[in-house]
Amino acid sequence: MTSEEIAESIDTNPVVVRRILSSLQDAGLVSSQKGPTGGSRLAQTAKKISLADIYQAIEKKPVFQVPYSSAKVKSGHAKKVASAVKDVFRSADEAVVAELSGMSLSQIVKHTVRGKK
């Protein structure tokens, strides 16, 4: 499938698909070839690729972030709150990655195929 066809099937822009494929390629999860017979393929087996691998390749920033820098906060109490929230958000993001690590791409494919029956 072309990036245009993939984009249409998931209701997004082809540029988004190409950007994601580029990130996956940079992470060594897919290999891509340009040209009329080109395309992208998994660089590893689907069993070896975890959802955490995909998440970390695509998401450059943690899901949970303090929306401002604690360095910009003037109040001592507010700095403590920002620091505590930052620690909680870091733990939450680590939990997301840990949960995603337990699921492989092949498991998702199997679940999707079973769901279509």
pLDDT of res. 91: 92
Strands 30-33 and 39-42: antiparallel
pTM (two decimals): 0.77
pLDDT of res. 94: 93
Structural domains in the chain, sorted by start: 1-43 (1.10.10.10), 44-117 (1.10.10.10)
* pLDDT at 72 exceeding the cut of 70: no
pLDDT of res. 9: 94
**pLDDT tens per residue across span 46-71:** 999 999 999 999 998 888 877 665 56
Q: Give residue 15's region: left, alpha or beta (phi > 0; psi -120 to 50).
A: alpha
- Residue length, the chain? 117
pLDDT above 70: percentage of residues in the chain: 91
Q: In the chain, which residue ranges form alpha helices assigned H by DSSP?
A: 3-9, 14-26, 51-58, 76-101, 105-116
Please enumerate in sequence order all residues whose Cβ is within 8 A of that of 49, keeping only pairs 6 or more positions apart, or say none. Answer: 29, 42, 104, 105, 106
